[in-house]
Amino acid sequence: MPVTPPLPLLKRVPPGAWTAFAWFAGTVFTYLTRVRLPGEHRPSHLPATQLYRWDGLTYLVVATALAFTAARLLSRRPLTAMGLLLTAAVIETSTLAAVEIPLAQFLAVQTAVYFIAADRPRRTGAIAVSLALALLAGYLAVRILMGWTVGTSAELAVALITLIAWLLGDAAHRGRAHAEQLAARTAEQAVTAERLRIAREMHDTVAHSIGIIALQAGAAARVAATRPEAAREAMSAVEHEGRETLAGLRRMLVALRHAEVHGVTGQQAPVAAGLADVERLAAVTSAAGVRVHLHWAGERRELPPDVDLSAFRIVQESVTNVVRHAGARSCRVTLDYRAADALAIEVTDDGRGRGSATDTGFGLAGMRERVALLDGEFAAGPRPEGGFRVAARLPIPLASGLPAVVR
C-alpha cells in the first residue's frame, strides 16, 4: 500500500496548543510593554496599580487557567471554549487599566476563531465570530454607559482582525471541502474508467472466442453423422478455444486483482495481447470457416503497449463481427506501418454489410472509444461495392524510440 507522507511539522500541532501559545504570547507581550526595555526612556504603557499586586496576579492566574481549559476543550466543545476565552480576555483586561480590550488579550480568541471556522461546520464558525464581535461591542457599550473613556478606534482594529481571522478560516474550510469533492470525483471517475476498461476487455476477449466456438460447434453438428473425423476436429477446436478463453480471463482477473491489491486502480492492468497474436487469431478464425487474409505493409516495428493492445483488439473485434454478423466466407486484414507516426488498420469483407458508422453495438463503440483515447481516427460502415469496412489510424509517439521487430 502507498505510504502516506507525514504532515509538515507545524501541521502536527493541534489547534488547542496554538491557542494556548497565543494566550501565552499575548500575556508576555502585555507585560513587556509595561516595563522599560533597553533603549526606552519609559514603558510603552504605564502599568496599572493592581498589576503587580496580589489581586492583579490572582486575576492573571484565573484568566490563564480559563484560557488553558479552553485550549483543551477547543477540539471537542468549540463554543464552550470560545466562551471561556472571551471570559479570560475580559478578566485579564480588567487588571490593565485599558480603555478597550487590547489586541494582545484577544490574540487567543482570534486564533480559536480561525481554527473553529476552518475545522468546524460553517454555522459553528459564524456563531464563534459573532460571540467575539458581540463581546467587543458589549465591552464598549458598558464603558460608554458608565461614562468612562473608550478606545473605539483600537477596538475597531481588534474587531477587524477578528473578522479577518474568521474569513481566513472559512476560506481554508471551503478549500478543504473543494479538495475533498475533487478527490471524490477523481476516485469516482477512476472507478468508472476501470469498469469500462474491464467491460471492454471482457467483451473483446469473450466475444471473439464465443463466435469461433459457435461456428465450430455448428460445423461439427452438420457433419457429425457423415464425417465423424471432421466433427471431432471441430469439437477439439471448440475445446482448445474454450480453454484459451478461460486462461485469458484468468490472466485478466489475476492482473486486475494484483492492481487492486497494490493500489493502482484506474491504471491499465497488464494484458498479454498484441499484434504478435494476430497471426494466431487469423489461423484460428480460418480454421473455423472464415478465412482471414492478413497483409502487412511497411517495416514492422515494436509499438507502445497501449497502441499494440488497442490495435490487436480492433482487429479481433472486427474479425469477430465478420464471423458473427457478415455472413462472409473471408475477410482481409491490413496492417500498414508505412507512416512513420501512425499505424493504419483496415478490415474489409464482402458479406451482407450490416451495421453502420453509427451502430450502437458494444463492438463498434468499444473500438471507437479505444481509438479516441489514443487521439486516433476511426471509421466504420458499409462499402459501396458491398460488405463492411473498419478503418483506424493510431498515432505512434515519435519519442518512443522503439526498434524494428525482427521476425
Q: What is the pLDDT of residues 92-123, one digit of tens each?
A: 998 887 888 999 999 999 999 999 999 999 99
3-state helix, strand, coil in the chain (%, to 5): 65, 10, 30
Q: Domain limits at 399?
A: 272-407
Q: Which of 133, 156, 185 is the last residue of a domain?
A: 185
Regarding whether 301 and 165 lie in a shared domain, the answer is: no
CA–CA separation, 138 vs 146, rounded Å?
Answer: 12
Q: 154 exposed, middle or buried (CB, 10 Å; 0-12, 13-18, 19+)? A: middle
Is the pLDDT at 4 greater than 80? The verdict is no
Regarding whether 17 and 162 lie in a shared domain, the answer is: yes
Regarding whether 177 and 281 lie in a shared domain, the answer is: no
- For residue 297, give the CATH number of its domain: 3.30.565.10
Q: Model-level pTM?
A: 0.57
Q: Which of 138, 170, 185 is the last residue of a domain?
A: 185
Regarding whether 150 and 34 lie in a shared domain, the answer is: yes
Regarding whether 44 and 170 lie in a shared domain, the answer is: yes
Assess if residue 89 is contained within a domain: yes
pLDDT digits (tens, 9 = 90+) for 331-382: 999 999 988 889 999 999 988 765 444 444 567 877 888 888 788 999 998 8
Assess if residue 224 is contained within a domain: no
Q: Cell 472464415 belongs to which residue?
A: 290
Count of structural domains, the chain: 2
Assess if residue 205 is contained within a domain: no
Assess if residue 44 is contained within a domain: yes
Regarding whether 181 and 52 lie in a shared domain, the answer is: yes
Assess if residue 31 is contained within a domain: yes
Assess if residue 97 is contained within a domain: yes
User: Which run of H or of E encompasses 88?
Assistant: helix 78-93
Q: Which of 130, 154, 185 is the last residue of a domain?
A: 185
